[in-house]
A and B are shown apart, each in its own frame.
Chain A
Amino acid sequence: MKKAIVMLALMALMLAGCSDLQARGQMKDTIDAQAQTAGELKPQAVAGTLSLDTCIVKIAENAVIFNQYDAAKTLNWFEYAFGNKTIWVNPTYSELLGQTAAAADLAKTQATTRPASWCNATVAAECSLLMRVKQAKDGKKD
């Protein structure tokens, strides 16, 4: 009994010590790579210097990425550790990933009818979000 309590306490400690958004395997690398690309692209998008065509392509790509993140997430630790889900999240991040994927889809449907200014600002906002996902995974602030 004592042993079980110690084990549970250790397990709780291990879980509590981890970031509320974790990724494993290829997904971890994907989040890092996407955040790096976003960090390089964002200054141009903020300056509004990306062409409309580039923005439309990027917004479509980002929608795919955010949907990948959303589809890979689970709130269940065992499903993450032993199943096919590659992102473990707490309820807050679960909701945020869902909302972000939906917003990215919405942006994708609007991009082709919007001016370059809007598309640049959208790419900038999405780049920020891609970087936020990595920060969450790494347990970091800005």
Chain B
Amino acid sequence: MMTLDELKTAVGTEGAKAAELYGADVLKMTAEDARTWIQYVFVGDTIAAYKLFLKTAQPDALAELTGLEAKWAAANVKNADKVAMQEKIADAIAKAMLALVLAMVGL
């Protein structure tokens, strides 16, 4: 198993900053994840690669926030559906009332 210092030496000065920031977490990646990550980068799916990296790097608070986003999205869909339905009801009521109001003013 490669150490962080060995990794830093391997990437040289050009990759020193990246090794400092991400090296420790990269070394935690499983071989399988590393292979998948490389495939993602090769096909240009950098977001998928980034998410895969984060799965290894820091799963806790970030995972919680990401899970919450899914809950918010689901709640917002229900909320929007409810508002849209209400707008239809209000339209229908307004149309029905329009006839009454027009009749009242003698039109």
Contacts and interface: CB of A to CB of B under 8 A. Distances in A.
Band of interface residues on B = 35 or more
Given A103-B64, A125-B62, A96 B75 contact: yes
Contacts of A19: 79, 83
Say whether chain A's binding surface is mostly helix, strand, loop, or mixed: helix
Given A17-B83, A48-B50, A125-B66, A117 B25 contact: yes
Given A118-B57, A140-B80, A141-B76, A13 B65 contact: no
Band of interface residues on A = 35 or more
A44 interface: no
Nearest to B74: A92
Interface string B60-98: 111011101101110111111011101101100100000
21 contacts: A18-B83, A46-B47, A48-B50, A92-B75, A99-B68, A103-B64, A107-B61, A107-B65, A116-B21, A117-B22, A125-B65, A125-B66, A125-B69, A129-B65, A132-B69, A135-B80, A136-B72, A136-B79, A139-B80, A140-B76, A142-B76
Interface of B: 21-22, 24-25, 47, 50, 53-54, 57-58, 60-62, 64-66, 68-69, 71-73, 75-80, 82-84, 86-87, 89-90, 93
